[in-house]
Amino acid sequence: MANERLAEIALTDPKRVKRILANRQSAARSKERKMRYIQELEHKVQVLQTEATTLSAQLTMLQRDSGGLATQNNELKIRLQAMEQQAQLRDGMLLMVPFFISFGEN
């Protein structure tokens, strides 16, 4: 409502004008609170986007490291198997040595 209209209403119903003005002030405060809330949310979004970017980079790095460690672990397992097989062959040959010695004596 325009100020002239409020002046007319004030002559006949001053309580109504007081209520209208109070409602306008309340609406202005509400609008200000809403703007502050939106700004806070926008700030939180920026912070969370930065955090998500950082965490994504960390995840990529950890996945790469994990893949490298898994490969290294597999290689070590293969080497261990080969060494165990060599030990078994060596132990088997050592067990056969007395047999060959006694076979050669006859």
* Overall number of domains in the chain: 1
Task: Using a pLDDT cut of 90, give the percent of the chain over it.
Answer: 62
**Tally of CB atoms within 10 A around 35:** 10
- Asked if residue 99 has pLDDT above 90, the reply is no
CA distance 88 to 85: 5
Q: Which of 15-19, 35-39, 93-97 comes out lowest in average pLDDT?
A: 93-97
Instruction: Evaluate whether 16 touches 9 at the Cβ level (below 8 Å).
Output: yes
pLDDT at 12: 86
pLDDT at 98: 63
Per-residue pLDDT of 38-66, as tens digits, reads: 999 999 999 999 999 999 999 999 999 99
For residue 89, what are the domain limits?
A: 3-105
